[in-house]
Each structure stands twice: as structure tokens, then as C-alpha cells.
Amino acid sequence: MITGGILLAARHAVGIPVQRDPRIDFFRGIALFIIFSAHLPHNTWDPYMPTRFGFSDAADIFVFCSGLASGIAYGGAFERRGFVAGSARVALRCWQVYWAHICVFVFIASMMVAADWFFIPEKTYVSSLNLTRFFSGDTATNLLGLVTLTYVPNLFDILPLYVVLLAMIPAAMLLSRLGPLVPLVCSVALWIVATSGYLQFPAEPWSERSWQFHPLAWQLLFFIGFAFSCRWIEVPAFNNRLLIAAIVVLLLIAPLAFWPFARTIPILRDTAIALGPWSDKPGYGILRFVHFFSLAYAAYCLSGVAGENLRGRFVDVVCLVGRQSLGVFLTGLVLSMAGGIALNELNRNSLAYPLINILGWFILIAAAIVIAWFKSKPWSREHKSREVGENLAPRRSAA
């Protein structure tokens, strides 16, 4: 009943649905739900989220799926309209994501200040996001750091990463003229440079801390997805032996990454520490690749050809969220901080956690519906034409 109502609202919001491969939208939608809960401060559900059972997590899913989607959206633009027009389209998206990052930072920082004024005189919320130095330090330097992306707090690190990854697309398209594998060879070379500790991106004007996501390391994950979409490399075929191998890898890694085990069982703790440099998140260690692509291959096989196994109302709702990734991601950041405040005001009792998590997920769905409605331009003639076309189209029999 609930999902049926959600889908009905979505159809009215966006008009005639477009047939598309559901896999990108579905897994990106799943990642957005998980990212919201993972960002919820001190969330007791966080250690049991699906991405806490391996070295990779929801950020990896989001970046890889963004690479796939970017290959479809921008790779085609370069082919149809040429290099200048394709680069212009990428530049426009970079501009949009950049200002989305600036605006969401200002909004959340202001929300934390307001929360301290209204709820806690000791300025707890501002300090909880490590914003004390931003407000109390050299204002000119800090503002310059914000707009030049040399000040990137941990909560706000995905969008600056995305800006850099998008900005690299024109170079990749130029390199592809030399051969489809040339961009990937250069991408691997950049990843090696990043994992060697070179070319760090400063994250704070007052410290030596670097970006949580090293762009030159994470770009390899993005451009592998991009290469699949552009057909620079072929998607692997379905293979039962390879699927079994992927599942075995996932099962072997799970105890090393699941916090209640990895932090309390000595042999697992020691093994996880020893493997730490190889599963590093900022520099994207090689074991992180192994885990992610084992997970991706298993999901790819279980989804069926062209995602034929991804059917049903639940899948449709998740895909709806995944299609509006930027707007939903921004909404999730704000909701996670607001949810942390709400949890504190509810004294973090046992009922508060399911309430805030589930309510947040439904708000993300509502945000996706509203964003899709605005994108459909309901005030335009085109929207009216789509509605007329939908009403006049012959209905399929339920049989």
C-alpha cells in the first residue's frame, strides 16, 4: 500500500516513465539510503549496515555508479556534439555540483550554530563537526579555503571528489582518441601515484590533513565504470565459477571488516590491522578494489540480464531515489545532521533510532518525488503534451 502510493505520486510528478536499465539507479539508490544512515551521528544501526561487512562501502557504490551514469550521459554528448560541446556539458555539471557543495556546507554549518544557540549553550554541535576552528580562526583564510576546496570537512568530502572526477572527463575523452585502453592505463598510473603518497589535496588551512577521498586514487573506480558505459572495455560475461569465487572473497573478508568481530577477536583484529594499508580508504587500497568488484560482480549476476531480476514496487521506489542522486544526497546530508540533533533531544532511547532512520528514508523518497516533479517542468507546454500523450496512449492489458 505504501509503496504503491509512493509510485502513484511519482508517476504524476514526472509524467510518462522512461525505460532504462534499472541497475545503476537501484544500486545508487541503495547507496544513498545507506549514506544517510552512516552519516547519522552515533547511529546504533551503522555497524550493521550492509556496507559494514567489507572493505568497500556505500561511497564506493556511489562513485562507481556515477562513473557508469557519466559514461552514458557525457560520453554520448562528446560523440554526438563534439569535444567543445561535451566539455561544456561537463563544465556545467561541475559548476552545479560545486555550488551544491558550498550551499549545503553553509546551510548545515548554520544549522549547527542555531542548534547550539537553542539547545546546548556549550557549543557542542559546532564542535561535533570540527567547525570550531572555521568560525574562531582566520575568517579570510577559512572562507578562501572553502571556495577553493582546500577546506573540506569529512562530512562534505564526496561532492568535491565528484567535481574533480567530472573535471577529468574531457581529458579521458581526448585520450580515448589514441585508443580505448589509453585512458584506463593513465588512470591506473594516477592511482599508483596517489597510493605512493604524492599529490595530496589539503583539507584544512590550519593542519596537514588531506582529503578523506584522494581524487587521484578514487578516479580509477570512477573511470572503470565510465569505461564500461563507453564500451572501452567489455562487461564480463555471466560465469558461475567467477560468481562463486566472488562470493567466497566476500565471505572471507566479512569477518575482518565487521566491527563487532574485528575489534574483539584478537586474530581478526591483528589480521585487519596488518591488511590496513592494502584496504586503505583515502588512497583506495588494492584490497578495497578486490572487495568492491567481487561485490559488484555478484550483484551484476544476481540482477540478471539488463537487470531483469530487479522488478517490483520496492525496486521502483529505490530506482526513483537513485535517479535524483544529487538532490537526494544533499537532502540526506541535511537530514543526517538534523537527525543527530533529534536523537539527542530524544535522549537516544531505543525507539529513537528506528524512528529517525526510517523517517529519514521516507523523507529521502519524498525528496526524490518532489525533485522529479520540478525537473519535469510542470509549468511548460512539453509537460502538458506528455500528460496528453499518456492519457491517449492505449492501455496494456493486465494479462
333 vs 235: CA distance, rounded Å: 33
φ/ψ of residue 210, rounded to 5:
-105, 170
207, three cell numbers: 593542519
What pLDDT digit, counting tens, does each position of 60-77 carry? 999 999 999 999 999 888
pLDDT averaged over the chain? 88
92 CB burial (10 A radius; 0-12, 13-18, 19+): exposed
29, three cell numbers: 539508490
Model confidence at 16: pLDDT above 90: no
pTM over 0.75: yes
In the chain, where are the structural domains located? 2-378
pLDDT value at position 15?
Answer: 46
Do residues 153 and 205 lie in contact, with contact meaning Cβ atoms separated by under 8 Å?
no
DSSP string, 20-32: --HHHHHHHHHHH
Do residues 86 and 74 lie in contact, with contact meaning Cβ atoms separated by under 8 Å?
yes
pLDDT value at position 397?
Answer: 39
pLDDT value at position 199?
Answer: 83
Alpha carbon 292 to chain centroid, angstroms? 14
Res. 90 pLDDT band, cuts 50 70 90: very high
pLDDT value at position 391?
Answer: 47
What pLDDT digit, counting tens, does each position of 93-142 carry? 999 999 999 999 999 999 999 998 888 766 688 888 888 888 877 888 88
78 vs 87: CA distance, rounded Å: 7
**What is the dihedral angle through the alpha carbons of 346, 368, 50, 192, rounded to the nearest 10 degrees?**
-120
Give me the count of residues in the chain.
Answer: 399
Do residues 168 and 226 lie in contact, with contact meaning Cβ atoms separated by under 8 Å?
no
Res. 318 pLDDT band, cuts 50 70 90: very high
pLDDT value at position 312?
Answer: 92
Nearest CA to 200 out of 150, 155, 154, 162 is that of 150
206 vs 151: CA distance, rounded Å: 9
For the chain, what is the radius of gyration of the CA atoms?
Answer: 22
Res. 389 pLDDT band, cuts 50 70 90: low
Residue with more model confidence, 335 or 259 = 335
398 vs 116: CA distance, rounded Å: 56
**What is the dihedral angle through the alpha carbons of 59, 65, 66, 70, rounded to the nearest 10 degrees?**
170
Model confidence at 393: pLDDT above 70: no
pLDDT value at position 182?
Answer: 97
The β-bridge partners of 210 are 202
316 vs 312: CA distance, rounded Å: 6
Q: With H, G, I as helix, E, B as strand and everything else as coil, classify residue 346.
A: coil
What pLDDT digit, counting tens, does each position of 49-63 carry? 888 899 999 999 999
Q: With H, G, I as helix, E, B as strand and everything else as coil, classify residue 347.
A: coil
The β-bridge partners of 202 are 210
What is the DSSP-derived secondary structure letter of residue 154? G
pLDDT value at position 136?
Answer: 79
Do residues 111 and 334 lie in contact, with contact meaning Cβ atoms separated by under 8 Å?
yes
153 vs 110: CA distance, rounded Å: 15
What is the DSSP-derived secondary structure letter of residue 123? -
38 vs 32: CA distance, rounded Å: 10
Handedness of CA 284, 152, 224, 300 (dihedral sign): positive
Handedness of CA 131, 137, 143, 146 (dihedral sign): negative
Phi-psi region at 19: left, alpha or beta (left = phi > 0; alpha = psi -120 to 50): beta
How far are the Cα atoms of 68, 82, 189, 347, 385 from residue 229, in angstroms, in the given order? 5, 18, 21, 47, 31
Per-residue buried b or exposed e for 13-32, using 16+ beta carbons within 10 Å of the residue's own CB = bbbeeeeeebbbbbbbbbbb
Alpha carbon 18 to chain centroid, angstroms? 22
Which of 17-21, 41-45, 254-258, 340-344 is predicted with the least confidence, judged by mean pLDDT? Answer: 17-21
